[in-house]
Chain A
Amino acid sequence: MPIILSLLVGIIFGAGLTFSDMVNPARVLNFFDVAGSWDPTLIFVMGGALVTATLGYRLVLAHKAPLTGGKFHLPIQRQIDLPLVGGAAAFGLGWGLAGFCPGPALAALVSLEPKVWLFVIAMLAGMTVTKVWRERQSSKEAQ
């Protein structure tokens, strides 16, 4: 049951990213290009998503537990630290270079454009490298 629900959520998410054209790097890059060929469409995408999510979360989190049981898994970290800001800055650099963030890149795999597939493979490699590096760091600290 959770698997089917999650698949359905992914489909709605992917449909939203596609219909809003966030899968199109040219459009995303043009949003950031205020000094050039500016395209403010992304504001409407973020706005629509944010208003819906804010109102929806309010209704959902009033419940005691999610539909399939268990509990609501909400992030508990609070501190503003270097990994957060440095990581976000690095992500922004990559986003600004290619015009892709992770969600749209995965949805756009359907286009069968080789660049999209290479972006996703490189992204998975970046995640794996970070994971390995972190494990080494924590095992060093443990010694």
Chain B
Amino acid sequence: MPKLRAIKCGGNIMTGFAPVQGLVGGVLIGLAAVLMMFTLGRIAGVCGIVFNALTTRDPLNTQWRVAFIVGLPLGALLVTLVGLKDWSSLSFPVAMPTTIIAGFIVGIGTTFGSGCTSGHGICGLARFSVRSLVATATFIAAAAATVFITRHMI
């Protein structure tokens, strides 16, 4: 069967198992979610915040959303500046057209599904939301199925 180069998802680049980094980073993400609720009373769901920043015409409620969004790359920059992140380890196993198509689908899917990994997978599950449990199980299963098909079947 011919390989579909444009949608081939990876010449399996190995990544070393990093449980301690994962756990520390995860705790930071959880802490951010808790601080968001504690200070502003808001869910730290990235796509909800981005969608509302993009579409809401209310300046007061746009400002804090934009500030949060700007904070994300700034946090990444901070970790880089203190020498804890080497971006040369970033490997992008996916072709350009696939990346663009995927971004578009993610934009549509997270808007219809009212959330992404942070909103449903962390904030929603932490509130024992059944909707978020269904959404999280669905997108993890869909992602795993997609990777299985693109890596092992096509």
- Asked whether A29 lies within 8 Å of B117 as measured between CB atoms, the reply is no
The majority secondary structure among interface residues of chain B is helix
- Asked whether B25 lies within 8 Å of A17 as measured between CB atoms, the reply is yes
Closest to B141 in A: A92
Given contacts A24-B90, A103-B117, A122-B103, contact A75 B43 (CB under 8 A): yes
Contacts of A113 in B (CB 8 A): 90, 92
Closest to A78 in B: B131
Q: How many A-B residue pairs have CB under 8 A?
A: 513
Contacts of B2 in A (CB 8 A): none
Compute how far the CA of A20 lies from the CA of B84 in the bound complex, rounded to whole angstroms: 10
Q: Which of B103-153 contact A (CB under 8 A)?
A: 103-114, 116-118, 120-127, 129-131, 134-136, 138-148, 150-152
Compute how far the CA of A101 lies from the CA of B116 in the bound complex, rounded to whole angstroms: 7
- Asked whether A5 lies within 8 Å of B40 as measured between CB atoms, the reply is yes
Closest to A20 in B: B25
Question: Given A13-B68, A87-B108, A96-B147, 7 other A-B contacts at CB below 8 A?
Answer: A10-B72, A20-B18, A26-B13, A26-B15, A48-B30, A97-B150, A127-B50
